[in-house]
Structure 1
């Protein structure tokens, strides 16, 4: 049977690799500032800054007669999954997990991509894709077990690991919705408008979640110039640049191929963690990474 998957060009590969590099930096920076600001508040502040930076380029999408409002339900859901939930859950995970662990757990994205594609959109799963996804999941289980299968059987997981699993599920659904629902004609060629349309509702969700966090007594906020620099970075790099590259790359190559590129994030996170946090990888991290890379190789091969 011929393989009808989109061809992966070097330009598309570069787009899909740029996003994991930015997200690895996001995990490291999120860990660096976890004692300065509450996690959900950090997510909200990040997107407030990103919105302020992007609005001058795409303010027309907010006008009453724009193509955004007839499709507001779609953008409300995209904003919930990609902006309101994913990053907040990741920052919550970084309260108890290291950037390397968080990004390795996030490497379970391919299996969620395949499952959701099959269950919600009827997209068939090939044997190669399934084998690659299982290899990636084995790597994730190795991280969750901290290298001890007895610990995994006892289900002794830190809260950060569970938060990251939920974040990964939200991101997989977000990625499918990017390509499996019709994009309004007015926003089809306007990447800034498309992202800003998601931010409008994403800010509402993240603001509401931050309010809940505040009401529960988690009001940690220590203003400093390092925190300001961190906010600037995560708003420009992991938010605007990464979301632009990811959206364009997924639209070209599809969410399944893109899902396997997320597995590059642990490699970047390991390098950045060693450089900035002194958190050197352990032997089980290396074995997990071998399994994850093996999953990429197997799944990306065309028949």
Structure 2
């Protein structure tokens, strides 16, 4: 039997493939712009509160007692911890000391961590080609973290953001494996409805994020009288609306539709455009132009992913 033909890259399909990396890059840039405006973990909490309120009218049925959510609360609590509570909190925290380009480049190594995590947690074999690709991508991450100074790698001073975004990448890799290996009895109605599936994670994710936000406020340094940790105003409102609508809802929906049309392999290639979009936005909005080592790291990371994903 012949395999089905690949879906043509029509303008509509290209738009679906380009929206997620554009939104993810924008998320990193806005996270950088919000430094000093709102604490990073609080930004993540407010983002998901707004996203949840937007989804309630279309997917609120998932919160009803008979929806199947509460019978599987442990799974959705773990998904909420990794995808809602941890991933973007760690990214926003990383942006205090790292640049959007560094953060998106290191985060683009997630397929490599998925490969390693699949072997460690699920016993999925790593082929020789996949191992070569993983090594190339890890070399790219090292180039970015070392800021291109490989000669002084042993004495390189890591900024906290580099380590935080690595933790974020590990959290997202585990989250992705949990999505790829759903239990056989997962409620079909929730699984088939992207909004309900995301809302089910948000409900528990906001509990985790709320706890992390409380811890953040307890540990915030004392401010002079008359100063607030949150600078309320239109910049904050605009930033919150963007991260709640763009990276949280629009990118999630576009990614699901794009994967359904062209498959995960093709879609993953487009996801690697995120650092390029972040470089353009950073140079334009933040006056942080990319360096030569960013290009070298990008080539190694993407090259490794392409090598490991070839059939």
Q: TM-score, normalised by structure 2?
A: 0.88
Match of 2:44 in 1: 43
SS of the residue aligned with 2:67?
Answer: coil
The structure with more radius of gyration? 2
Q: Partners in 2 of 1:137 and 1:93 — Cα distance?
A: 19
| Aligned counterpart in structure 2 of residue 240 of structure 1, from 237, 241, 249 | 249
Residue 105 to residue 214, structure 1, CA distance change in 2 (3 Å)? same
Residue 94 to residue 288, structure 1, CA distance change in 2 (3 Å)? same
What do the CA deviations read for 1:57-103 (whole angstroms, capped 9, x no partner)?
10110111211111110000000000000000000000000101111
Q: Partners in 1 of 2:80 and 2:266 — Cα distance?
A: 23
Match of 1:212 in 2: 215
Match of 2:287 in 1: 278
Offset of 1:151 from its aligned partner?
3.8
Q: What is the CA RMSD across the aligned residues, in angstroms?
A: 2.4
**1:110 touches 1:136 (CA, 8 Å); kept in 2?**
no
Offset of 1:259 from its aligned partner?
5.9
Q: Which moved more, 1:39-48 or 1:211-220?
A: 211-220
**1:257 touches 1:300 (CA, 8 Å); kept in 2?**
no
What do the CA deviations read for 1:219-239 (whole angstroms, capped 9, x no partner)?
721011011001000000111
Residue 257 to residue 180, structure 1, CA distance change in 2 (3 Å)? farther
What do the CA deviations read for 1:230-285 (whole angstroms, capped 9, x no partner)?
1000000111122234455667845x876665432211110111121111111111
Q: Partners in 2 of 1:13 and 1:113 — Cα distance?
A: 26
Q: Partners in 1 of 2:8 and 2:88 — Cα distance?
A: 29
Q: Which moved more, 1:26-35 or 1:123-132?
A: 123-132
Match of 1:193 in 2: 196
**2:111 touches 2:305 (CA, 8 Å); kept in 1?**
no
Match of 2:134 in 1: 133
Does residue 146 in structure 1 map to residue 147 in structure 2? yes
Match of 1:119 in 2: 120
Residue 207 to residue 258, structure 1, CA distance change in 2 (3 Å)? farther
What do the CA deviations read for 1:167-222 (whole angstroms, capped 9, x no partner)?
00000111111120133112122111100000000110101100000011257210
Match of 1:161 in 2: 162
Match of 1:203 in 2: 206
Q: Partners in 1 of 2:246 and 2:83 — Cα distance?
A: 15
Residue 202 to residue 150, structure 1, CA distance change in 2 (3 Å)? same
Which runs of structure 2 are paired with 1:14-25 in the superposition (5 Å)?
15=16, 17-25=18-26
**2:112 touches 2:305 (CA, 8 Å); kept in 1?**
no
Does residue 53 in structure 1 map to residue 62 in structure 2? no
Match of 1:263 in 2: 272
Residue 215 to residue 8, structure 1, CA distance change in 2 (3 Å)? farther
Does residue 177 in structure 1 map to residue 152 in structure 2? no
Which runs of structure 2 are paired with 1:36-115 in the superposition (5 Å)?
36-115=37-116
Segments of structure 1 that go 5 or more residues without pairing to the other structure are none
SS of the residue aligned with 2:96?
Answer: coil
Offset of 1:300 from its aligned partner?
3.3
Tell me the number of residue pairs that the alignment of Structure 1 and Structure 2 aligns.
297
Match of 1:297 in 2: 306
Residue 88 to residue 215, structure 1, CA distance change in 2 (3 Å)? same
